[in-house]
Amino acid sequence: MANKTRVGVVGVGYLGRFHALIYSRMTNVELVGVVDSNAETAAKVAAECNCKAYANIQDLIGKLDAVSIVVPTTAHLAVARPFLEQGVHMLLEKPIATTCDEGREIVQLADKMGSILQIGHLERFNAGVMALADRISKPRFIEAHRMGEFVARATDVDVVSDLMIHDIDIILSLVNSEITSIAAVGTRVLTDHIDIANARLEFANGAVANVIASRVSEKKLRRIRVFEENLYQSLDFIEQRIETAYPKPSPDSKWPEITVEKIDIEPIKPLDTELAAFIDCIHTGQRPLVDGHVGLEALEVALKVKEIIGQ
């Protein structure tokens, strides 16, 4: 496209505000405007980003090539539908929807209209995750921990939808095989939803993944360990460091030595990278790294985990 991509942001609370700020700095984007249920919030962000604040989404229809939707998941379908019906390209925050039926409708609408639909699984654009994915060949066992202190901002959803779904999505992309079995447990601690959860995923190719998520932990922990034949790799999301261990023949013993290497990853701003990738897909027509079908698959697994737990 020779012209700038006209973009809007619907929902400019904590995360949506960052969407708007990043778009406002992109040289190949014209941030047309923002919408929020709180008019004062919309006006404040619009002033920060030098764009217009609109009262409702209908005011943006016909003015955009693309939109970021950063509203509560329960509103995703209602907010996404009018834009997709007009063929507007869309970055929809994760999870894609609250139910599989709603998620499928969103995907089908995008496919029908030829819209780029990217789901905001931000961790796929984490520099460490991208580096780890490039180094993985055939994982046999994966263990993921995503634990953090209690934050009141996300208590309207459970820990599976809020945190665990990130690692479910990453694991599905690394293993690339059909799930054959899911076992899960979880419990409420501080909220009316599940605050701690554990899931075991078994795959058709024999791989197994163990996933733990907690939002009531004392310390923040973000780590994924991947075991392959003769190879172990661990990513610390916070430190942006990959640790690798593998056997190396020893001239002094019939047993190989375990060689350990630590690789520091150059950090990037994942949201900037994610939004840049979205705009690039619009320009090139390439399939997003996390398109609607991928986002729907992660939702299906997350909902199955919640069903087994009894949420």
User: Closest Cα to residue 179, out of 206, 208, 202?
Assistant: 202
The residue ranges of every structural domain in the chain are 5-122+271-289, 124-268+301-309
What pTM was estimated for this model as a whole? 0.92
pLDDT(269) > 70 = yes
Taking residues 119-136, report their average pLDDT: 96
The one-letter code for the residue type at 291 is D
User: pLDDT grade, residue 311 (50/70/90)?
Assistant: low
Please give the mean pLDDT across all residues of the chain.
95
Q: How far apart are CA 301 and CA 3, in angstroms?
A: 40
Q: How far apart are CA 26 and CA 5, in angstroms?
A: 10
Lowest mean pLDDT across 110-119, 126-135, 154-163:
154-163
- Of residues 263 and 154, the one with the higher pLDDT is 263
pLDDT(197) > 90 = yes
Q: What is the pLDDT of residue 136?
A: 94
Q: What is the pLDDT of residue 50?
A: 96
Fold category of 124-268+301-309 in CATH: Dihydrodipicolinate Reductase; domain 2 (3.30.360)
- Of residues 1 and 172, the one with the higher pLDDT is 172
Q: How far apart are CA 87 and CA 44, in angstroms?
A: 29
- Of residues 202 and 192, the one with the higher pLDDT is 202
CATH class of the structural domain 5-122+271-289: alpha beta
User: pLDDT grade, residue 255 (50/70/90)?
Assistant: confident
User: Closest Cα to residue 26, out of 65, 80, 73?
Assistant: 65
User: pLDDT grade, residue 235 (50/70/90)?
Assistant: very high
Taking residues 73-88, report their average pLDDT: 96
Q: What is the pLDDT of residue 1?
A: 44
pLDDT(276) > 80 = yes
pLDDT(108) > 50 = yes
Distance of CA 194 to the CA centre of its chain: 20
Give the Cα-Cα-Cα angle 79, 292, 208 (nearest 5 degrees): 130
